[in-house]
Structure 1
């Protein structure tokens, strides 16, 4: 399995296993099958309208067909965007095959990144361009991934890298557990630690501070991975 190392905005190096072409294709097949179910439902709905209300169909068939086309486009484009934003970079197909899409710097997808990568999916990569590029790209990226600066990784029960951005997004009590001053201090430390001659003392002070604080709050086990990443 091909590995990739990325440096997060907080200068944390994380190693991931890149998703191979076979698993990405398999995930795409599953997602396409799910989309086809929705398309079939639309066709059945149109057939029922035409069968049980022929006069209504004759009078408004142009509108009905137009609405069905718009809904089909939303299914084709919106399915992946909705799934990726609500399942932390996964679709149903990716979840089954334990894959996840993240940004090239290790952070979670945003709406902008999902919009870009999936726009290329439906207009270009669907026609086989994506698979060809994955074979020749060292990061196994299709054109949409290049445009959106994203990669697809083998999840292997590993979450996104422990960063303040990820924690703030996934932990609803983040602002309660991490004060504004602590947030700024940790960001400053992570941004400069690689340039410091010796940051071991500061690192230990931060670890001790957060260990004591989270232990008193009774959430130490939940935040141990964050403390170890300092």
Structure 2
């Protein structure tokens, strides 16, 4: 396994996105945190279940016979498995590829094409997790695979990347108009709809626009601005705000804590 492996995607706008793969260390940290949370949840369920089932079994044995205890045990094991898998499915679907552990470890699951994971991908990863953890099969696959995928990632078509945002403007400058406009932009738009890969496209454009021809820069900025307006539900835009200024303002506003995904 290479340290700091990177993967690249090309968007329909001809913008190349580059992500850094999470690596076995970050993934292990995230999983350790998740298992502590999950362990507490399972322990709480077991305590509640034992309290309730102790009374139900006594009643059920009198009505249904000895088979009732086996049914109760089967229901308990099924419930434990649902909690175990449901934890990962719920959070990865709701938090766009992150569980509490992944969020703390600053990593995220995305699809192979750079899009956010959905319910199907999250479910496949969760259902195959016990297989990956058997004899550390998943860990070996992550270390030996160039794309650092465990079995669940291979079948679900996902990868795990570092999710840290770049809070610096890099090689580009932000105009004064954008610095003034982004504050009001937060009030008239829904920036929570902007996904990490959307943000990455905006950042890539702002970093590379200085090397574009005037015509290509104008065309791409207009196209990106129209798409961003649709995503963040921005219906009214002041006439003096150009496409570049809008993209710069969105770049600034998205990095504020209130809009962190």
Query: Could you say which residue in structure 1 is the equivalent of 2:52?
Result: 49
Provide the rounded CA distance (Å) in 1 between the counterparts of 2:33 and 2:101: 5
Q: Compute the TM-score of the two structures, normalised by the length of structure 2.
A: 0.61
Distance 1:202 1:221, change over 3 A: closer
Equivalent position to 2:6, from 4, 9, 34: 4
Retained in 2: the 8 A contact 1:7–1:106? yes
**Residue 76, structure 1, aligned to residue 79, structure 2:** no
Give 1:129's aligned residue. 137
Q: What is the deviation of 1:91? A: 0.6
Unaligned runs of 5+ residues in structure 1 are 160-167, 173-197, 226-230
- Contact map agreement 1:3 1:17 (CA 8 A) in 2: yes
SS at match of 1:29: helix
Q: Deviations over 1:62-109 (max 9, x none)?
A: 333222122111112111111100111001110111111111111100
Report matched runs for 1:62-141 at 5 Å. 62-122=70-130, 124-127=131-134, 128-141=136-149
Indicate which of 220, 245, 248 corresponds to 1:203. 220
- Distance change (3 Å), C-alpha of 1:134 and 1:204: closer
What is the match of residue 144 of structure 1? 152
8 Å contact 2:225–2:247 — kept in the other structure? no
**SS of aligned partner of 2:238:** helix
Q: Root-mean-square deviation (CA), in Å?
A: 3.6
Normalised to the residue count of structure 1, the TM-score between the two structures is: 0.69
Matched length: 192
TM-aligned CA distance change 1:52 to 1:119, over 3 Å: closer
Deviation at 1:145, TM superposition (A): 0.9
- Separation in 2 of the partners of 1:147 and 1:73? 20
- Please state whether the residue corresponding to 1:74 is helix, strand or coil: helix
Superposition deviation, residue 58 in structure 1: 3.8
